[in-house]
């Protein structure tokens, strides 16, 4: 079947929408086998449904076989259309439920790790209020790295996100809600003088860099330490620091929360390396949010403002 065709796509039916939902599940899972559990179907059945959809649309959606699974260019456009159709149906269903004073459905939210321990964040309070207003909405909460979170919102896997990533995506809207202070930390050494910036190299420290974090990579170049380590996530950074003779960035609130278990201390004379990150509530500009997402967004903004006003 040729990927490109001059034949127009026929008017879509309810059966076509079902096939598009199946195709979306396969595409997001990354293959037929991976989608079997989510769809509750055998691979052969899923394959027949994809073939039926390709015949209806008149073009190949994906390459599937021993070489792996890959969307065609048409398949990528079809996936975007499938997600848009699903969003539209969700909005319609939510609106009809609201007419009956009922709010249901699934709400997908992604956040950065360790938001809970940040005293500047009112996320838990907002979720508590949301639970009272919409007890029948099923919330899916995921912890994601900044790039994964932003891409997930852009690709419509998440309705909302909270991250410290710098605004710069034209399709995404950023609303500042709270900040997070980062400082340079290391483990205190029993019976030894305080850890100081100018003595890190002499004392054999290794710098901890975070995956896909340019700031920690710049730190490594600035400190000029011979040894380094790479961490995926803040807990990985803290674990290395707690082991001793590692130095790296941690949020102040997170280091304080660990202080009763590990002797993490700020590195002396490193004030110039400190920085703050602004956390934002992120959404997709051209995506119609369901009422549940609109309610949570309003609660997050209002609760955060009240939290800051209360000091």
Q: Please check whether residue 114 is in contact with residue 255, taking contact to mean a CB–CB distance below 8 angstroms.
A: no
Helix 73-99 × helix 291-309 angle, to 10°: 80
- 4 DSSP β-pair partners: none
Instruction: Report yes or no: 120 and 278 within 8 Å, Cβ to Cβ.
Output: no
CA distance 21 to 4: 22
**pLDDT tens digit at each of 311 positions of the chain:** 444 555 778 888 888 888 888 998 898 888 888 888 888 889 899 999 999 999 989 899 998 877 788 999 999 999 888 888 877 777 676 666 655 556 788 899 999 988 888 999 999 999 999 999 889 899 999 999 888 999 999 988 899 999 988 877 889 999 999 999 999 999 998 777 889 999 999 999 999 998 878 888 888 888 888 899 999 889 999 999 999 999 999 999 999 989 889 989 999 999 999 999 999 999 999 888 888 899 999 999 999 999 888 86
Helices in the chain by DSSP H: which ranges? 14-29, 32-39, 43-57, 73-99, 123-133, 146-154, 214-223, 234-243, 252-258, 291-309
3-state class of 4 per DSSP? coil
* Exposed / middle / buried, residue 271 (Cβ in 10 Å: 0-12, 13-18, 19+): exposed
Q: Where are the alpha helices (DSSP H) in 134-251?
A: 146-154, 214-223, 234-243
Flag whether the pTM goes above 0.75.
no
The closest alpha carbon to 11, from 57, 60, 54, belongs to 57
């Amino acid at each position: 079947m040729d990927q490109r065709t001059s034949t127009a796509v026929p008017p879509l039916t309810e059966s076509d929408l079902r096939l598009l939902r199946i195709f979306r599940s396969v595409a997001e899972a990354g293959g037929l086998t991976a989608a079997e559990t989510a769809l509750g179907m055998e691979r052969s059945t899923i394959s027949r449904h994809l073939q039926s959809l390709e015949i209806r649309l008149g073009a190949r959606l994906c390459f599937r076989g021993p070489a792996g699974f890959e969307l065609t260019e048409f398949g990528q456009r079809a996936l975007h259309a499938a997600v848009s159709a699903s969003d539209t149906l969700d909005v319609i269903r939510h609106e009809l439920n609201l007419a009956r004073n009922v709010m249901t459905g699934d709400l997908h939210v992604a956040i950065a790790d360790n938001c809970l321990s940040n005293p500047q964040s009112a996320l838990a309070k907002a979720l508590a209020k949301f639970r009272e207003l919409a007890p029948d909405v099923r919330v899916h909460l995921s912890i994601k790295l900044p790039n994964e979170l932003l891409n997930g919102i852009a690709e419509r896997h998440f309705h909302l996100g909270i991250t410290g990533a710098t605004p710069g995506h034209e399709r995404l809207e950023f609303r500042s809600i709270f900040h997070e202070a980062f400082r340079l930390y290391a483990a205190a050494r029993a019976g030894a003088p305080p850890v100081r910036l100018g003595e890190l190299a002499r004392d054999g420290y290794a710098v901890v860099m975070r995956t896909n974090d340019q700031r920690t990579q710049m730190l490594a170049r600035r400190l000029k330490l011979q040894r380094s380590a790479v961490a995926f996530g803040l807990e990985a950074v803290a674990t290395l620091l707690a082991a001793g003779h590692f130095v790296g960035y941690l949020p102040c609130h997170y280091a304080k929360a660990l202080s009763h278990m590990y002797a993490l201390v700020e590195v002396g004379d490193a004030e110039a390396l400190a920085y703050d990150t602004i956390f934002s509530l992120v959404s997709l500009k051209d995506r119609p949010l369901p009422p549940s997402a609109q309610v949570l967004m309003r609660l997050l903004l209002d609760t955060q403002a009240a939290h800051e006003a209360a000091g």
